[in-house]
Amino acid sequence: MKKKVNKKNNFDGFLNKLLITGVLTIICLIFLKKDISFKKFFNDKVLSINFNFSYMNSLYNKYLGGSLPFSDIFSEAKTVFNENLSYDGFTDYLDGVSLNVGTDYLVPSLDTGLVVFIGEKEGYGNTIVVQQANGIDVWYSNMSDVSVDMYEYVSKGSFIGSCHENLILVFKKDGNVLDYKKYV
């Protein structure tokens, strides 16, 4: 027997989330305006740290579901690409590793995360930085083509761009370089 889905309850749930968010925001703004110790606490704990949006998104989806109850209406059909990183060899390169990947290699995301940078990095060339849900920033460098946008969520194995011959990877957490051997 099929269970009937009540679309009104989905919309009511969305309105409840919106109302709770609005109330919490107003309360926070009032405390910021009136209480100097709360303002200092807020500045130290919220504005002065590298906030992991990818981790918060994964928690939100796990416990509250998607952000919109009708998000499937707005979703676009995307090309299916779910690959693992493959390479023929590697060498150390500056703060990371250079992988021999072959010509016109289609680069997959190593893990789920948020694209936080796209552009040139000195010594690395065209770079995509993905902040993973585990707090590790992965630099995908020496890219010839970028297929993601800023602040786009990417899933593990999804296509983020392409590179020629060598893909340079750097792993950082809280500004510190990590040993690539644990992740490649």
CA–CA separation, 50 and 174 (whole Å): 8
5, 65, 93 from 2: Cα distances, Å: 9, 21, 57
- Whole-model pTM: value is 0.64
CA–CA separation, 138 and 156 (whole Å): 12
12, 142, 158 from 121: Cα distances, Å: 46, 9, 23
Q: What is the pLDDT of residues 32-75, one digit of tens each?
A: 888 888 888 877 777 766 667 777 777 777 776 665 555 554 55
CA–CA separation, 184 and 179 (whole Å): 10
Q: What are phi and psi of 7, to 5 degrees?
A: -70, -25
Decide if 169 contacts 140 (C-beta within 8 A).
yes
Could you give all domains of the chain from N- to C-terminal order, each with its CATH number? 7-73 (no CATH), 89-182 (2.70.70.10)
CA–CA separation, 183 and 169 (whole Å): 10
Q: What is the pLDDT of residues 81-135, one digit of tens each?
A: 677 888 888 999 999 999 999 888 999 999 989 999 999 999 999 999 999 988 8
Locate tokens 């500045």: which residue?
A: 43
Q: Which two tokens stand for residue 92?
A: 């150390």
Q: What is the pLDDT of residues 7-24, one digit of tens each?
A: 555 667 778 888 888 998
